[in-house]
A and B are shown apart, each in its own frame.
Chain A
Amino acid sequence: MNATFIAFDGTTTQVEVDEGESLMQAAITNDVNGIVGECGGSMMCATCHCYIDDAWLEAAGPRNDGEEDMLESATSEVRPQSRLSCQVKMNAELDGIVVRLPETQI
């Protein structure tokens, strides 16, 4: 399965993602610029903020418990498409997902 990250400057990176792996982990493992992931996916830092492409929004599902609250402290604008990428886990329905990254995470 794969996911495509589009950085704020337009740089596009497609990466392989394992089932159950989070988009944050996939971004880090593949050296995608624009995801920090300071807390390692513990929903403590909001430095893994991303915008899910509209076509995939529904498949990505609703925000998790507490994710909404964490997003409030994200540094870039929070939109309806905003998710913490550590909370979006890969599955067959998300194969090919496209996400955009905000200008800054810290």
Chain B
Amino acid sequence: MERIVIVGAGQGGMQAAMSLRQDGLTGNITLIGEEPGLPYQRPPLSKAYMADGIADRLILRPTSFFERSEIDYRDGVRVTQIDRERKSVTLSNGENITYAHLILATGAANWAPPIAGINAPGVFQLRTLEDATALRNKMASTKRAVVIGGGFIGLEFAAMARDAGVEVAVVEAGPRLMARAISPAMSRWFLDLHRSQGTKIILGTAASSVRLDDAGEADGVILNDGTVIDGSLVLVAAGVRPSVELAEQAGLSCNDGVIVDGRLLTSDPAISALGDCARFPLPDNGTVRLESVQAAVDHARHIARRLAKGEDAPYSALPWFWSDQGKIKLQIVGIGAGADRHEQTTTPAGEPVVLAFNNDTLIAVETVNAAGVHMAARRLIGTPYHVLAEHHFDVRKTLSAVTA
């Protein structure tokens, strides 16, 4: 019997299994995940889970779902090798499973700067439930925490730690916060926000080592300029690297991600890739690798439609993303990285809205606590600059006008 094998049971792998069944696939589905337990979602790990510690609320589907949907789920086992000739994968328990089609959903792994002390006790990362549980336990007995990296995850954790009464310092080597993903104006707004909550933020200075106490445990971070920041909890949140080892070893094209075409197929037509591990083409030009629930889920649905229904349209889903930093919700639609121009407005509540343009076309919109503006913006990506200018860059008014 033909079998679809999915490697990686995170957000994207799990969605692929669900969508294949929803789209009517009757053949076998095997979902293989290295982590123990049921597939779960990561976003709450740096948000609600830090506060409530309730792991049951993270699971994507319960055991009964796998039985009912006839999905063969193997947890706690790793795929160690792909044999493309024989179309089979080898598992860490020695088993071989053959596939008609293989989906790589291996996600990403944390990257840690190669500095002294980075593996000492007291130094944490935040990718898996296991990481989050260890971090949360340590937080309960910590007065001061240092976060290395001023990206989404580091700042989300910082806000939760502040809420829990922990003193927090965030060290970012680059000149601004979340620089890879948001506009300078929005970085600035979040800098002020975190500082107003009492988080110390140090920009433009890299961590050079983790300082250890007599017992060999982390008790601070030493910066490039010699400054020492005290803290018995150090969170390394300096970005991730796509997990491409399997793909590389199998000879698939990779370049900061497994390269896929517009149908999300790798250089082997019997293998697709999705989510954090996949670099895919944008509709207009260039390629991108996104680390978001939206990308993982939409990729998975796209691949499922191709495999279960034979649909062949190129992937073109609109990217969106959110980050909850304490009670503040940042929402982003589109990809603003290539912007050559920004316009900023404010909501009636005084929160910023940033519009990013490239070549006089709207490419991204960033909002704060403004779901309505965000939802309207989802329908305006691609709108010419002059149309928005006519409505003073008011996203909702522009949408009403163009849809009237």
Contact = CB atoms under 8 A, between A and B. Distances in A.
19 contacts: A28-B62, A29-B56, A29-B57, A31-B64, A31-B65, A31-B68, A38-B293, A40-B43, A40-B44, A40-B293, A42-B322, A65-B369, A65-B371, A66-B329, A66-B371, A66-B372, A69-B374, A73-B375, A73-B378
Interface in B62-120: 62, 64-65, 68
Interface in A34-73: 38-44, 65-70, 72-73
B43 A38 contact: no
Interface residues of B, number: 27
A25 interface: yes
Nearest to A73: B375
Interface string A69-103: 11011000000000000000000000000000000
A91 B305 CA distance: 40
Contacts of A12: none
Contact of B62 (A31, A38, A43, A65): A31
Interface of A: 21, 25, 28-31, 38-44, 65-70, 72-73
B56 A66 contact: no
Interface in B348-404: 369-372, 374-375, 378
Contact of B59 (A29, A42, A72): A29
B65 A70 contact: no
B297 A43 contact: no
Nearest to A38: B297
B61 interface: yes
A30 B293 CA distance: 22
Given A40-B41, A42-B43, A44-B331, A70 B60 contact: no
B190 interface: no
A62 B65 CA distance: 32
B61 A28 contact: yes
B219 interface: no
Contacts of A30: 62
A11 to B, nearest CB: 12
Contacts of B378: 73
Given A31-B62, A65-B369, A70-B375, 7 more contacts: A28-B59, A29-B57, A31-B61, A38-B293, A42-B43, A42-B324, A68-B372
Contacts of A65: 369, 371
B320 interface: yes
B185 to A, nearest CB: 22
B297 A72 contact: no
